Structure 1
Amino acid sequence: MEDRCRVLAAALETVDDVFYVYDADGQLAYWNARLNELFDMTDGDLSGADPPEFFVEDDRPAVEAAIEEMFDSGQTTVEARAETTEGVVTFELSGRLLTADDGTVQGFSGVGRDITDRLEREWHLQRQNERLTEFADLLAHDLRTPLAVTSGHLELAARELSAERIEAARDGLGRLEAIIDDMRTATREGALAVDEQTIDIADAATTAWNHVETGNAVLEPLPSILVEADIERLLRLFENVFANAVTHGPERDECPSDEGSDADTPGVAVRVVPTPEGFAVEDDGRGIDPDEREWVFEPGASRAADGTGFGLYIVRAIAEAHGWTVRVTAGEQGGARFEFDVAADTAC
């Protein structure tokens, strides 16, 4: 029996979960080493500790209520956050009452499991479902206008055989196709990044630049920045940010030359730079008004006559799928600067 107890105790020391036993007075009586590691406390510090004192103040009432429930029903489960050596951790705490053969309560035992990552995945899935609901509402609104315009032009074209009206109908259909494509992309990207690998930002950005109609815009030389990312989604992120920069670059009437061909017209300059939190993409175009810097990430937001309004929304969806955040500020040359914080992920 003594050997079996030693084996059991040794086994409990190998698990990542916290195992604990409290006596009948609610004082900590036994625990595995995982508890010492997470709270950087000695056995002397832990002995006799009350359950709620391990957790953040806001969650202590829930822990106390769970203990009361356990003494009433014999078992309980509760979630609570704690500040540990590994940061703020959310634990799923289970407890079962310990009784003697005669029914006398001897205390309770349980397991504290780190569910922080699971909760983060659930948050991402919830965000995805919220986006799908948004798309359902936006679909009817955004498709109704181009469909109505197209239908009207086609009706007139059928009677007049006007090449101008037929071309207008084609434009309407093209815009409709672009909206559908962006909405499908946004739905697809609004999920977890499932195929992450170490990627050099310089390679991904260069490839994405070649996928975009950039005209006379220039992508400046890129530094090497390593991140853990899904390559297909990262390419789409850069394509959309670059397309936004090119679309909102200098207007023709802002250019100094009144002569020459389009090849002489200066284009926007785009650069990708490392930051302490990850990386940023900035340009020297017209920038984004401070009052609109949150609005531009909303679905359907666009100032361009032929824009679908989903480009930057997709950018934010992809960033969040990786556990990143994105914000827009002013660039050094007065243009737009999109800053990506990958600290929650792995930046090298």
Structure 2
Amino acid sequence: MEDRCRVLSAAIETLDDVFYVYDANGELAYWNARLNELFDLTDDELAGMAPTEFFVEDDRAAVEAAIAEVFDQGWTTVEARAETTEGVVRFELTGRLLTAADGTIQGFSGVGRDVTERREQAWHLQRQNDRLTEFADLLAHDLRTPLAVTSGHLELAAQETASEHIEAARDGLKRLESIIDDLRTATREGTLATEKTTVNLADVATVAWSHVETDRAVLDQPPSILVQGDENRLLRLFENVFANAVTHGPAADEESEDGDRPHLTVRVEATPEGFAIEDDGRGIDPDIREWVFDPGASQTADGTGFGLYITRAIAEAHGWAVRITAAKSGGARFEFDVGADTAC
């Protein structure tokens, strides 16, 4: 037993994090050497110190509240800043209540982890996202005015002359409008999906299908699949996958016996990891399955290349993963791993 205690004590001393034990009175009773190093204090100076003494004035109220929580609830987590020998450090502090066999409260223990760099990276990333969104909004605003003027002149020209070039120019302007809309969407959908509620994907899929030009494609009745998610963003996700299926389904020259374009069937199903959307079209070549998620990637002349990029951005904003495989029919299959976000 004594050897085990020595090994445990040595292990605690090797931690880069601060380890601490406070007694039932909230006074420091045990700690590792990391605490001495960070605050340049001796064991005698540390013994009996209150938790709040280590942290800057503005964060002490949060620490006091966390201490009350650990004695009341049995555990706590809080962040607080401290002036140390390594500069101002932001700590993520944990606390777990310690009790004797008879239930008597003996104090609490925990770990203080330096999360300064992680917080700074998160702040800079948010700043970059904000600037990207602002840039996309400004770009869209600045482009729409000359596009509107060009469109107006084009319509005037169409009244004076009949030319196949007029329609080609109209198609080009429409594509520019689509690119602008998708660019603005792409800069927004990658942010965290904060408006999460319990969503039935059967309802979302049905509504999304009604928003897509489906030609002769059909959607099998989706099963009830409950997830925690942002309904509006999931609607866009399904719209994009459905549109991709229809666009890359049977080719126009693949005619059936009656001379029409063959039917395309799209299905939504539950999987052990979450859900999948698949079709019985031509599928996606394994060599380009990752490439099609890149911004601007498109296999059609009139595509913007943002549809599947936005799909993955929405999935990742929910904390999900998405991958493309082949359906049993040979068509495309999008599999979404929702992890712990399933509601049932």
- TM-score, length-normalised on structure 1? 0.62
Change (3 A) 1:254 1:225: same
How many residues align? The count is: 265
Indicate conservation of the 8 Å contact 2:278/2:333, yes or no: yes
One-letter code aligned to 2:239: E
Indicate conservation of the 8 Å contact 1:125/1:191, yes or no: no
Per-residue CA shift, 1:119-141, capped at 9, x if unaligned? 6997598389369659969x79x
- Alignment partner of 2:12 out of 26, 44, 50: 50
- Equivalent residue number for residue 195 of structure 1: 195
Change (3 A) 1:299 1:343: same
- Equivalent residue number for residue 319 of structure 1: 315
2:253 alignment partner, SS class: helix
Distance in 1 between residues matched to 2:192 and 2:112, nearest whole Å: 23
- Alignment partner of 1:266 out of 237, 262, 269: 262
Indicate conservation of the 8 Å contact 1:326/1:340, yes or no: yes
Change (3 A) 1:228 1:254: same
Indicate conservation of the 8 Å contact 1:69/1:76, yes or no: no
One-letter code aligned to 1:230: D
2:341 alignment partner, SS class: coil
- Determine whether 1:336 maps to 2:332: yes
- Equivalent residue number for residue 129 of structure 1: 128
Indicate conservation of the 8 Å contact 1:156/1:165, yes or no: no
* 1:165 Cα deviation after fit: 2.0
Unaligned 5+ residue runs, structure 1?
1-42, 56-62, 78-89, 98-108
- Equivalent residue number for residue 282 of structure 1: 278
Indicate conservation of the 8 Å contact 2:214/2:243, yes or no: yes
Aligned pairs (5 A) from 1:231-250: 231-250=231-250
One-letter code aligned to 1:244: N
Change (3 A) 1:169 1:323: same
- Equivalent residue number for residue 179 of structure 2: 179
* 1:269 Cα deviation after fit: 1.0
Indicate conservation of the 8 Å contact 2:265/2:280, yes or no: yes
* 1:93 Cα deviation after fit: 8.7
1:112 alignment partner, SS class: strand
One-letter code aligned to 2:37: E
* 1:332 Cα deviation after fit: 1.4
Distance in 2 between residues matched to 1:222 and 1:133, nearest whole Å: 36
Per-residue CA shift, 1:21-47, capped at 9, x if unaligned? xxxxxxxxxxxxxxxxxxxxxx99977
Indicate conservation of the 8 Å contact 1:205/1:238, yes or no: yes
**Percent of pairs identical after alignment?**
58
- Alignment partner of 1:68 out of 32, 37, 41: 37
1:340 alignment partner, SS class: strand
Change (3 A) 1:136 1:49: same
- Determine whether 1:164 maps to 2:126: no
Distance in 2 between residues matched to 1:51 and 1:91, nearest whole Å: 23
Per-residue CA shift, 1:277-308, capped at 9, x if unaligned? 11111111111111111111111000111101
Distance in 2 between residues matched to 1:321 and 1:120, nearest whole Å: 19
- TM-score, length-normalised on structure 2? 0.62
Distance in 1 between residues matched to 2:120 and 2:245, nearest whole Å: 32
Distance in 1 between residues matched to 2:284 and 2:120, nearest whole Å: 32
2:283 alignment partner, SS class: coil
* 1:330 Cα deviation after fit: 1.2
Distance in 2 between residues matched to 1:124 and 1:216, nearest whole Å: 48
Per-residue CA shift, 1:133-187, capped at 9, x if unaligned? 59969x79xx8xxx8xx89x95995897233222222111111111111111112
Indicate conservation of the 8 Å contact 2:250/2:261, yes or no: no
Per-residue CA shift, 1:16-69, capped at 9, x if unaligned? xxxxxxxxxxxxxxxxxxxxxxxxxxx9997786244597xxxxxxx9777533
Change (3 A) 1:225 1:111: same
Change (3 A) 1:302 1:45: same
One-letter code aligned to 2:253: D
Change (3 A) 1:244 1:158: closer
* 1:266 Cα deviation after fit: 1.8
Aligned Cα root-mean-square deviation (Å): 4.5
* 1:113 Cα deviation after fit: 6.2
Per-residue CA shift, 1:182-225, capped at 9, x if unaligned? 11111221211121110111111111111111111011121111
- Equivalent residue number for residue 209 of structure 1: 209
Per-residue CA shift, 1:299-346, capped at 9, x if unaligned? 100011110100001101111111111111111111111111110433
- Equivalent residue number for residue 88 of structure 2: none
2:267 alignment partner, SS class: strand
